[in-house]
Chains A and B, each alone.
Chain A
Amino acid sequence: MSEREMSHYREGEAHKERITYDDRWPRYFVWASVLWGIVGMLVGALIATQLAHHGANVAPYLTYGRLRPLHTNAVIFAFVGNMMFAGVYYSTQRLLKARMASELLSKIHFWGWQAIIVSAAVSLPLGFTQAKEYAELEWPIDIAVTVVWVVFAVNFFWTLARRREKHLYVALWFYIATIVTVAMLYIVNNLALPISGMRSYSIFGGVQDALTQWWYGHNAVAFFLTTPILGIMYYFLPKAAGRPVYSYRLSIIHFWALVFVYIWAGPHHLLFTALPDWAQTLGMIFSLMLWAPSWGGMLNGLLTLRGAWDKVRTDPVLKFFVAGVTFYGMATFEGPLLSIKSVSGLAHYTDWIVGHVHEGALGWNGFMAAGMFYWMIPRLYRTKLYSRAAADLHFWVGSFGILLYVVSMWVAGVTQGLMWRAITPQGALVYPSFVETLIALRPMYWTRLVGGSLYLGGMILMAWNLVMTARQGEATDGQADVIIEPEPVEENKVPWTRLVFGFPVVLTTFVIVAFAAAAVLSEVASVTVAGIAVFAAVVGVIGWRIARSGDEGPSWHRLIEGRGLIFSALTLLAVVAGGVLELIPSLVINQANARMSHRQPYTPLELEGRDVYLREGCYNCHSQMIRPLRFETIRYGEPSTIDESIFDHPFQWGSKRTGPDLAREGGRYPNLWHYRHLIDPRSTSPGSNMPSYAHLATSRVDFSDTARRVDAMRTLGIRYPEAQVTQAPAVARHEAEAIAADLAREGARVEADTQLVALVAYLQRLGRSQSTSRTSLTPEAPTAPAPAAR
């Protein structure tokens, strides 16, 4: 420390101390990430093959609908999760100049997380699923995730409390945001009513569930796949470049603007759906606003290399980081673009979204992980990287793989989107057969498989290189002589009230209250305007405070950067505000709709069939949401309405159409068509890539369990009279016998108590306000006449 810096301190003396970091767990997390990354991508390659050729669905437990959730969960929570923990454990200790607070908690965290991954890998192919994207894990695993996350949080914040460096570096802010926000998102979205050891129903239904799910789903991208990796970028990129971050002040703006804005953007996944318009507009506008902080962060990362670009030519670590941050910029440009309603009209439900997601996952997450691993492993084993040439080869193979993957999906997405909407001058669909639009994509699906396989090859090459590096070195915990500095007197004496009730907090609170008042008193547009004014004010005030830092002593933000608890509390408030203001109106609206609806709840057999639909992961390929777009209504029927899905716990609007929308599938075809289609999809739809579900014709429904399902729905607020709960098994059996008899008349022999019959019952109900079965249950209260089914 220079004399000039020392003069800043009036009390205490700086002294040197040797710290030994606990690097065992970062090492373990790296190896776990590499292993699960390869497994997850291997499953990805398998499901890509299944999409290109249906024959790759080799067994009932290994169909696309069951494996796709395994792939997404593996790469998100196992690959990126373990990578994130490795980076957090490694960098936190060094930034705080403190060893992790508890080795026991680190151990529980590591092994607990791996146990969760294994349980997911077993339970998802077995069909235990909540049927919500990226939130498929059933309730006992959710509880385990929550417990392990709390262990991680305690370990992190305990270390924060024991730190020897007063100032919290920007990377730590992003870690704090990750820990508090993921906890909130995960718990709220997974609130469910268990009906058995591995089965539950979401407590939210219909539009409530849709909004909650995409509030979670979008922010899982934001706070699991983005903020921790940004923290990692802010620590490891300067380390690798050997120079500080380009603009520390810009990172403050980046952090707060990103955290504030991201949480609101979830509804862009639901554009043109039955979600209220005001929520769609809010989601679209906040998504567009995300351009600013995202690109601020990207430029801050890239400009850190100012004057050191020559290193990128020779250093594989920097190659991966630069490409990773560039992919972040591309993905965060494309994301808001796709959130514009007119673009979404073309891209939603197509492979364009798949391409966008993989741009972020392979380019941003995967390359940042590779750069970090190539940087960490030599240091964790006190040696040099085994082969720079292999790392370079990994970079080029991976880059080419991403290119093939993303471009093929862009082409597939735009092609399919345009084919869906092509209309003749007479107003008819140019491509009325859905399968026709799918067949056109097949070359792109094979290209995607090649691209993904190349990327996987790069991962395997990295694994080999890292193992060889570790073998030539020796696992060693890092040590550092750090200078422990006394706290600046003026910062130490600032009372917490001055920080918590600081000008930025008070102003923000005032504007948020005004925003809430506007929402209650006024119409949609003013709510949106007020909401954005909140963020303009927040960014303005924080920016102003930052700008004046150093003029009159430490700024308000400089002070909270040294107060971990206050910083965490303010971060939580920032994300809670967005969540509460966005979710509560929809929760209220849906309840009102449920009370007014004339629709009849699902019959017991339809409920059983719906469970089969959920278990098989049909939502991965079929939506149940017809958008109010002409080409959709011509193909599928009237646009879906908000009350059509009020009995759906969970909702099944879907996000991808590898197959056609099913919202009005009921009555479109006879029972025999569904039977034949499920046994052999190619028999009714030549060219289809849907797996065969012939095994459902021999799998039985346990009707003794049906009453419990109806009772669970009743507990969730659906109007089943209590007496009808006990009748449910008999009613379900009677319904099934009617369908089996109908099939028998057409020459198809199938037992009544099979899952295939139940699934047919459910499919025949879709889009109808009440069951066509004469033995269906009647609702508790008299209802208005139902409109004619399509």
Chain B
Amino acid sequence: MYREFFTRSPVLALPMLAMFLFLAVFVAVVLVTWRRPAGPVARDAALPLDDAEESLS
């Protein structure tokens, strides 16, 4: 079935492959990033909380 599909739409195969390549790289990078400890960027992440204005909510 997939052969018939790609035979009928020859231009579709390579872009599909490329898209999955992108998604695979993206997911891999996200996973690698997620596993890293937050320590070195903890201060940067907390910048919005880094002011002494009174909380009113």
Contacts and interface: CB of A to CB of B under 8 A. Distances in A.
A379 B18 contact: no
Given A243-B49, A296-B26, A385-B57, 6 more contacts: A239-B48, A245-B45, A247-B38, A250-B33, A289-B19, A540-B29
A5 B44 CA distance: 12
A281 B44 contact: no
A588 to B, nearest CB: 21
A478 interface: yes
Nearest to B11: A525
Interface residues of B, number: 44
30 contacts: A97-B51, A167-B47, A171-B48, A238-B49, A242-B55, A245-B48, A252-B33, A277-B11, A281-B11, A285-B16, A285-B18, A288-B19, A315-B57, A378-B57, A480-B53, A525-B11, A525-B13, A525-B14, A529-B15, A532-B15, A533-B18, A536-B18, A540-B25, A543-B30, A543-B33, A546-B29, A546-B36, A549-B36, A549-B41, A558-B41
A317 B57 contact: yes
Interface in A155-188: 165, 167, 169, 171
A244 B30 contact: no
A215 B20 CA distance: 24
A550 B48 contact: no
Contacts of A499: none
Given A169-B48, A529-B18, A532-B21, A524 B11 contact: yes
B49 A528 contact: no
Contacts of A702: none
A628 to B, nearest CB: 14
A479 B51 CA distance: 9
Nearest to B26: A292
Given A245-B45, A250-B33, A529-B17, A536 B22 contact: yes
User: Which of B17, B22, B33, B41 has most A Cβ within 10 Å?
Assistant: B22
Nearest to A287: B19
B32 A547 contact: yes
Interface in B27-42: 27-30, 32-34, 36-42
A375 interface: yes
A480 B51 contact: yes
Interface string B1-21: 000000000111111111101
Interface string A87-120: 0000100110100000000000000000000000
A5 B13 CA distance: 52
Nearest to A236: B48
Nearest to A8: B43
Interface in A535-553: 535-537, 539-540, 542-544, 546-547, 549-550
Question: 4 closest pairs, A vs B, by CB?
Answer: A543-B29, A550-B40, A532-B18, A248-B45
**For the complex, would chain B's binding face be called helix, strand, loop or mixed by DSSP majority?**
helix
A199 B57 CA distance: 50
Nearest to B35: A547
Contact of A242 (B17, B26, B28, B49): B49
Contacts of B47: 95, 165, 167, 169
Given A480-B52, A480-B53, A550-B39, A169 B44 contact: yes
A240 interface: yes
B55 to A, nearest CB: 8
Given A549-B41, A550-B39, A95 B11 contact: no
Contact of A244 (B18, B49, B52): B49
A524 B10 CA distance: 11
A253 interface: yes
A528 B12 CA distance: 10
A490 interface: no
Interface size on A, as a range, is: 35 or more
A539 B47 CA distance: 25
Interface in A215-260: 234-236, 238-240, 242-245, 247-250, 252-253, 257
A129 B53 CA distance: 46
Nearest to A5: B43
B30 to A, nearest CB: 6
A249 B25 contact: no
B41 to A, nearest CB: 4
Contacts of A528: 14-15, 18
Given A249-B36, A533-B21, A481 B44 contact: no
Contacts of B34: 247, 249-250
Contacts of A531: 18
B52 A539 contact: no
B22 A535 contact: yes
Contacts of A479: 53
Taking each of B43, B51, B57, which has the highest tally of chain A beta carbons within 10 Å of its own beta carbon? B57
A576 interface: no
Nearest to A246: B45
A296 B25 CA distance: 14
Nearest to B14: A525
A94 B51 contact: yes
B48 A257 contact: no
Nearest to A237: B48
A561 B44 contact: yes
Contacts of B17: 529
A383 interface: yes
B44 A544 contact: no
Nearest to B21: A536
Contacts of B39: 550
A549 B33 CA distance: 10
B12 to A, nearest CB: 8
A384 interface: yes
A240 B56 CA distance: 10
A235 B11 contact: no
A395 to B, nearest CB: 15
A547 B30 CA distance: 9
A375 B57 CA distance: 7
A252 B36 CA distance: 14
A414 interface: no
A482 interface: yes
A433 interface: no
Q: Which of B18, B52, B55 is the most central at the interface, judged by chain A CB atoms within 10 Å of its CB?
A: B18
B46 A253 contact: no
Given A525-B15, A540-B25, A478 B53 contact: yes
A244 B33 CA distance: 17
Contacts of B24: 536
Q: Which residue of B19, B28, B53 has the most chain A CB atoms within 10 A of its CB atom? A: B19
Scoring A239, A277, A317 by chain B CB atoms within 10 A of each residue's CB, the highest score goes to A239
B37 to A, nearest CB: 8
B30 A253 contact: yes
Contacts of B41: 248-249, 549-550, 558
A492 interface: no
A230 to B, nearest CB: 14
A685 interface: no
A223 B50 CA distance: 27
